[in-house]
Amino acid sequence: MILVDFLFVNGAYLASIYLHYLDYSVMPGDILDKMLVRMPYVTLVYIGIFMVAKLYKNLWRYMGFLEVTKTVIGAGIGTIICFLIDYVCMKSGFLFGIGCLPLIAYIDSYLFITFLCVGIRTAYKSFRAMRSNLQRRSGTANKNIMIIGAGNMGNTILYEMSLSGYKFGSPVCIVDDDPAKQKLRIRNIPVAGKPEDIPKLVSQYDVNEIIFCITLISPERKREILDIAMSTGCSLKMAPNVEDFGGYNKSFTDKIRKVDVLDLLSRPEIKLNPDVCKYVTGETVLVTGGGGSIGSELCRQIARYNPAKIVIFDIYENNAFTLKNSLDRQYCGAPQIEIRIGSVRDMKRLREIFDEFNPSSVFHAAAHKHVPLMEDSPYEAVKNNILGTYNTAFCANEYGVKNFVLLSTDKAVNPTNVMGATKRVCEIVVQHFSKISKGTKFAAVRFGNVLGSNGSVIPIFKEQIENGGPVTVTHPDITRYFMTIPEASQLVVQAGGLAKGGEIFVLDMGEPVKIVTLAENLIKLSGFEPYKDVDIQFTGLRPGEKLYEELSLEEELDQRRKTGNDKIFVTKPLEIDDEMIENEIKAIGDLKPEEVRIFLKRLVPNYKPQ
C-alpha cells in the first residue's frame, strides 16, 4: 500500500501540473522538472501523515467510515503542508528558484489523491465482497442459515460471514419483529418475515441452521421465538451478547454458540449492586467447600471485588487445585489464592485455619446436598451439614469474623427429606449464633436448584440423550425453581453486604419449571424429537423427593420484605430455643443412626419424612 500510495500521490501532482500548464506551451521536460523537485518532500509528507494515522496498520477488507475519513483528512493536511513548503522555500528562491504552483493545481492534486487512495481501497473491499457473494450464490457453502434479528448484531454476523467467504454457511433469509424492516434487504439478504413465519420460511429457503441475533429482548419473547425455532428441528445457535465479546481482534462469529437450556428460562438473570459487595475488598475471605461447583463459582465472584486473599477450604483436593490455577491465571496472584485441605467436622483443623488466616468473611458452602443419598446415609448428613455448620459458625464467632454467610436451599422449607431437614437446622444454627454473637453478622441465603452444579438434572439428561435415551423423569408434574451458578454465587456475596444479623435471604426466582419440559427442551436442542427419537420415562418420586418446592415458611411470609434489590427478599429471624439448640448439637456424637430422623423432628417440627 505504501508503494501504491507513492505512485498515486506523485502521479496526482504530475497530472495536476500537466493540466495547469497544458495551454502554456511548456515543454514536457520542464513539467517533469517541476515534479521531480517536489517528489522527495511530497512523498515524505503524504506517506508520513498516512503512517501517523496508522492507515497502513489496517486490514482493508474491514475498511469503514473511519478509515475513509482518515484518508480524506490526511490528504488535505498533506496538501496544505506541501503548499506551505512551496510558498516558503520556492517563492523565496531558496530551492532552485522554481515558483509555487497555482492554487487550483493544489486543489486538483488533493482531489486526485483522495479519489485514488480511497478508490483503490474501496475497490479491494468491494472485490472481496463480490467474490463472497458469488460463493454464497453458487451454493459452495455447506448449509443455509436463517438470521433472527435485523438489528446491529444480525448485521454484524452477516458482515463477518461475508468476510469469511461464507465457509461456515450461507445466510438466505432474516426474520424480525419490526414491521418497518419487512421486505427490506440487509447485505443483500431479504427480511422475509416475522418470527412467527419461521416454520414456513425454513421450508421455503431450505434452512439448516438458525442463529438468534437479538440482544435486547424480554426473556418471555426470547423464549417464545426460541420455542418456534426449536419446533423446526434446525440446528439452533445464539449470537453473543456485548458482555460476551471480550478482546480486540476477536470475531463475533467465533463467539456464536449453541442454544443452551438456560436461554429457555423465562426468568431474567438477577442484577446485583456491586457496591454492596465491596465489604470483601482488601480482606481475607474463607470459603468452605470452595472446590465444589457452587463454592468455586463463589470464589470467582468474590475475586472480582479485589480481596487480599481467598482461602479455599475443602476435603477434596483436585477441584480446589484446579480452581486455584484458574484464578491465578486470570488474576495473576491478586488476590492471593490459598488452599487448605480439611473437614468442617474437625474443630481442631478449623481452628488451625482461623488461626493462620484470621478471615474477615466466611462463606459456608461445605455440605452434603444429594437428596436420595442422604436418605440412605442420614447420620453422615447430620454430622457434615449440622455439625459442620455449627463448628464453622462457632469459630467465626470465636475469632471475631465480621460476616458469616450460610448457603441454604429451598428444600429446607417444610422438608420431607433428611438433606432438607439438616439444612433447616443449619439455618436455625446461624440464627442462634446471630443472637449470641456480639460482633459477627450471621445470615443464610436460600435458593432453588442450581443449573450446571454437581448433581443437577442437566448433565444427567445430556448423558442420557447422548446414549440414545430414555431420559428419566421422576414424575410428569414435578416442578423446580432454577437459577444459574453465577446468580446463586452473586446472591450469596450480596447477602454478606446486606446482612444485619439472623436474616434468611430469598431470591425471587419467578415461576417454577416443569422438569419434563426441561427434558423435552434439552432433547429438542440436541436435534431430536421427544418421545419419537428419544423417549422420556417416568420412574416415580425418589425417597424424600417432593413434587414442588417452596421458598419460604408460612410463618416467614408475614415478615418477608424486599431489600434494596427488588429481586431479593429477606425474612425476619424466628424465635428459637437457644439452650435446646446447644444441647441437641452437643448430643450429635451420641446419636445412633436409627435415631437421626427423630432428632431432626425435634429440631424441625414441620419435617415430614416420607
What does DSSP say about strands 441-447 and 503-507: parallel, antiparallel, or unpaired? parallel
The vertex-124 CA angle with 120 and 130, nearest 5°, equals: 135
Alpha-carbon gap, residue 448 to 545, rounded angstroms: 14
Alpha-carbon gap, residue 371 to 455, rounded angstroms: 10
Q: Which three cell numbers stand for residue 602?
A: 425435634
Query: In Å, how far are 367, 580, 590, 596 from 584, measured between CA atoms?
Result: 19, 6, 10, 11
Please count the other Cβ atoms lying within 10 Å of the Cβ belonging to residue 31.
Answer: 17
Q: Which three cell numbers stand for residue 539?
A: 420412574
For residue 549, is it left (φ>0), alpha (ψ between -120 and 50) or beta?
Answer: beta
Alpha-carbon gap, residue 537 to 397, rounded angstroms: 49
* 473 sits in which H/E element: strand 471-473
CB burial string 335-372: b at 16+ within 10 A, e below: bebbbbebbbbebebbeebbeebebbbbbbbbbbbebe
Q: Which amino acid is at 467?
A: N
Alpha-carbon gap, residue 479 to 135, rounded angstroms: 49
Which of 411, 423, 441, 546 is an active site residue?
411
Q: By three-state DSSP, how is residue 495 classified? A: helix
H helix and E strand count, the chain:
20, 22
Please count the other Cβ atoms lying within 10 Å of the Cβ belonging to residue 590.
Answer: 7
Question: Are 320 and 339 contacting, i.e. CB atoms less than 8 angstroms apart?
Answer: yes
Q: Which residues pair with 501 in a beta bridge?
A: none
The vertex-138 CA angle with 200 and 132, nearest 5°, equals: 100
What does DSSP say about strands 482-484 and 449-451: parallel, antiparallel, or unpaired? parallel
Alpha-carbon gap, residue 469 to 463, rounded angstroms: 9
Alpha-carbon gap, residue 145 to 348, rounded angstroms: 62
For residue 214, is it left (φ>0), alpha (ψ between -120 and 50) or beta?
Answer: beta
Q: Which three cell numbers stand for residue 254?
A: 467465533
Cis peptide before 274 (omega within 30 of 0): no
Q: 335 Cβ partners below 8 Å, 6+ apart? A: 303, 306, 307, 308, 309, 310, 327
Query: In Å, how far are 23, 441, 496, 499 from 444, measured between CA atoms?
Result: 93, 10, 9, 9
The answer to whether residue 411 is catalytic is: yes
Catalytic residues, by residue number, are: 411
